[in-house]
Amino acid sequence: DIQMTQSPTSLAASVGESVTITCLASEDIYGSLVWYQQKPGKSPQLLIYGATILEDGIPSRFSGSGSDTQYSLKINSLQPEDFASYYCQNGLSTPYTFGAGTKLELK
Amino acid sequence: QVQLKESGPGLVQPSQTLSLTCTVSGFSLTSNSVHWVRQPPGKGLEWMGGIWGDGSTDYNSALKSRLSISRDTSKSQVFLKMNSLQTDDTAIYFCTRDYGYKTNWFAYWGQGTLVTVSS
């Protein structure tokens, strides 16, 4: 199984700041990396797929990058609604493993 | 529009079998895959398994011996059955649909249903 190691586990930031979350795959996933946002009590929401492609309706302050085994999610100019948990997912092959998550909290 | 909704018992006794139903609308089960993902309270997401448009299934190896996913296309329903439940199976269970044909990520999610395993 492909292991997804996400860091940091938690992150405190202020409105207007920029943050970066990273995800390391245990083997090359050829850009098949997916990011989700999850707010408390809600289902996950697709943000980015194919490592860099923004899902329709997602603000452009979200961006994804990376290749091979190393990937990042960057959020520019944090807005109050961005404070949530974020998960990466291996989209290459089953089992579709997720990272352990990053909780983004308001400083 | 695409919708998925989970239903099933909120409480299951240890060693018993969990049966959940995902009722979908807005798409055909023969065109898209539907998957089950669970999340223990306060923890991360775990892909459990899925059923593809052609009816084939795949499971997380950690759960394979206990898990079965099936469907009734005429009723637009996908079923999850998992036996020998233990307390660490307590989780929110989500059903989710792929983004599109032969994609491996999840664009549509149900609201989730909390299953508690307790005597």
Whole-number pLDDT of residue A40: 96
Whole-number pLDDT of residue B14: 97
Report the alpha-carbon distance of residue A58 to residue A16 in Å, rounded: 17
**Contact residues, chain B, for A49 at CB < 8 Å:** 99, 103, 105
Taking CA–CA distances from A55, the nearest residue in chain B reads B107
Whole-number pLDDT of residue B71: 98
List the single best residue of B59, B106, B114 to mutate versus A (max A Cβ within 10 A): B106
Give the pLDDT band of residue B101 (cuts 50, 70, 90).
Answer: confident
Pick left, alpha or beta for residue A50 (phi over 0 → left; psi -120 to 50 → alpha; otherwise beta): left
A contact set with B (CB within 8 A):
1, 32, 34, 36, 43-46, 49, 55, 87, 89, 91-101
3-state class of A5 per DSSP?
strand
Residues B63-91: tens digit of each pLDDT? 999 999 999 999 999 999 999 999 999 99
Judge whether B85 and B18 are in contact, CB under 8 Å.
yes
Residues B11-33: tens digit of each pLDDT? 999 999 999 999 999 999 999 99
Whole-number pLDDT of residue B95: 98
Residue B55 has pLDDT above 90, yes or no: yes
What are the residues facing A24 on neighbouring strands? A5, A70
The number of angstroms, rounded, from the C-alpha of B106 to the middle of its chain's C-alpha atoms is 13
Whole-number pLDDT of residue B102: 82
Whole-number pLDDT of residue A17: 98
| A69 closest CA partner among A98, A31, A36 | A31
**Contact residues, chain B, for A46 at CB < 8 Å:** 99, 105-107
